Amino acid sequence: MKYVEKDLNDKKILITGGAGFIGSALAHYLQKEYPNASISVLDIFRDGSRFENGNLKSFGHFKNLIDFKGEIISGDICDRGVIEWIKDSKFDIIFHEAAISDTTVSDQNIMIKTNVNTFKELLEIVKDSKATLVYASSGATYGDAPSPQKVGVEMPNNVYGFSKLAMDNLAYRYIKKYPEIQVVGLRYFNVYGKGEYYKGKTASMVLQFGLQILNGEAPKLFEGSDKIKRDFIYIEDVIQANIKAITAKSGVYNVGTGIARSFQDIADILQNEFSTNLGNRYIKNPYIGRYQFFTQADISLTKEHLGYEPRFSLEEGIRAYKDEIKRVYESEYNR
């Protein structure tokens, strides 16, 4: 489905973080809908390195790019040489998905260097080249801010959310100083869908509960999960927002459904879809103080300026995703 009337077939497009979850979904979408576009993917593919929390430093995986026929570049967005390559390549559109997106990483130095400092380099490039820049921000900028969360009222409670807010503040400065540039930030809420398996422990609970259920286990939830609510958004709606952002007014916008659903809802919907009755396992939440207990995106400005309209409810998204969860379970999970 083409989300904008603008023809992108003659455009030179870069996707940073393009071997990750959202980046690879964008790559496949653009290749399918605009086969004559020149699409390049940049990613620091995983090498086994891990943060102090035990999680992988890179979620980039070659399997996310199987069937992608565009240019693939392995490189670190923090490297000066990579920045110079982006500058010299003169892209028309840059989708910036590369980031440390693990909310449990506590290394503030690497988080700011990777997420904030490199973003300023990209802003300098688009200032000079007039390329369109669409970048990934996050609902983590809000922390415990009142719901529904609105742009302008942020209370990040971890360094990841802080880094994304710093990116947004930089974007606003450049938009104000250089009104001729087009820079759009998308604050993703809780995204789930095909391609997230290689995120490991940071993959959505939709996938994690689904794999537990298919393995014959009762889904493991935090205590009080019927009251812990998030705005869960299916990957296809995230792609819709990114494509519509190409022609949108510069600014920062929420990307969610506008509806908060509980983790208990996810477990119950999955058991219904997989025709199981395994019950639930409840454990204490070890992340209290760094954990968002309620997120709900105010998407009124996103609708107004992007023409965005979420197409998938939680039930519809899980139904669309369940066959892929089965495939992952059968071909990856038990290997």
Residue 137 in contact with residue 186, Cβ under 8 Å?
yes
Residue 86 in contact with residue 94, Cβ under 8 Å?
yes
Active site residue 174: no
What is the chain's percent helix, strand, coil content, to nearest 5? 40, 20, 40
Sign of the dihedral through C-alpha 147, 152, 153, 158: positive
Within 8 A by CB and 6+ apart from 18, the residues are 24, 26, 27, 40, 41, 42, 43, 60, 65, 72, 95, 97
Q: Active-site residue among 142, 160, 188, 198?
A: 160
Q: Active-site residue among 199, 229, 253, 329?
A: 199
The angle at the Cα of 137, spanning 133 to 140, to the nearest 5 degrees, equals 175
Active site residue 199: yes
Q: What is the distance of C-alpha 159 from the center of its chain?
A: 17
Alpha-helical runs (H) found in the chain:
21-33, 80-89, 108-112, 118-129, 159-177, 205-214, 235-245, 263-273, 300-306, 314-328
Paired tokens of 116: 């904030």
Within 8 A by CB and 6+ apart from 280, the residues are 218, 219, 220, 221, 225, 264, 267
The angle at the Cα of 298, spanning 252 to 162, to the nearest 5 degrees, equals 50
Mind telling me the catalytic residues? 160, 199
